[in-house]
Amino acid sequence: MTMKLFCFGESGNAYKAALALQLSGLDWEPVKVDFFNGETRTPDYRENVNEMGEAPALIDGDTRLTQSGVIQMYITEKSGKFGGQTPEEAREVMRWMFWDNHKLSSQAGMTRFLMNFLPEDKRPAPVIGFMQGRLNAAYKVLNDHLQGRDWIVGNGVTNADLSCCGYLFYPEPFGFTRSDWPEIDRWLSNIERLDGWKHPYDLMPGSPADRA
């Protein structure tokens, strides 16, 4: 049975799940969520897709999952990929996924939204500046960790990589300039070379161009 990932191209969190599915070799298809017209807030979506009113969400037969990290864990259960090769690596993968969700993706996602998807007169400059400072600290942690490493954990791609890269391929400005962080840049290039890799706007339906 084909798994269905409810997602939209602009979502970095959805991209984490979509990219894991894409690289896993599992049978899946994207289902577009019309986030910007309020689909996630509708009673139908909350009842039948995700009670939390968010994307991504994965439906696989009778299994319904939400939160990108949980979906990534499920993909690992189904495919045997991305979870680390040893118990020690598995814990390290989870450590970086938790770090990403708290320190990197949550702040990058909010900052990108404030800078690009709000009307210009509603963009809170002090908040954006504060968030960019916090993001720079996170970029430094990741950049320093990647020195001498091709992947965040172990010798191959894991959910740690697929989580932390979630927002870093997007073209909209949010305070991340890839060339400023050479180790991150090299690591992102490693991900781009993976068989089956696609840019978020090519992998999932929906992009800012659709609303231009």
Are both 183 and 97 inside the same structural domain? yes
Are both 77 and 12 inside the same structural domain? yes
Domain count, the chain: 2
pTM of the predicted protein model: 0.96
Q: What range does the domain containing 106 cover?
A: 87-192
Q: Is the dihedral of CA 35, 41, 42, 44 positive or negative?
A: positive
Q: pLDDT for 40-60, tens place per residue?
A: 999 999 999 999 999 999 999
Paired sense of beta strands 3-7 and 28-32, if any: parallel
> What are the beta bridge partners of residue 3?
28
Contact yes or no for 65/55 (Cβ under 8 A): no
d(CA 13, CA 77): 19
Q: pLDDT for 135-190, tens place per residue?
A: 999 999 999 999 999 999 999 999 999 999 999 999 999 999 999 999 999 999 99
Are both 45 and 142 inside the same structural domain? no
| Nearest in space to 98 (alpha carbons), one of 69, 74, 135 | 69
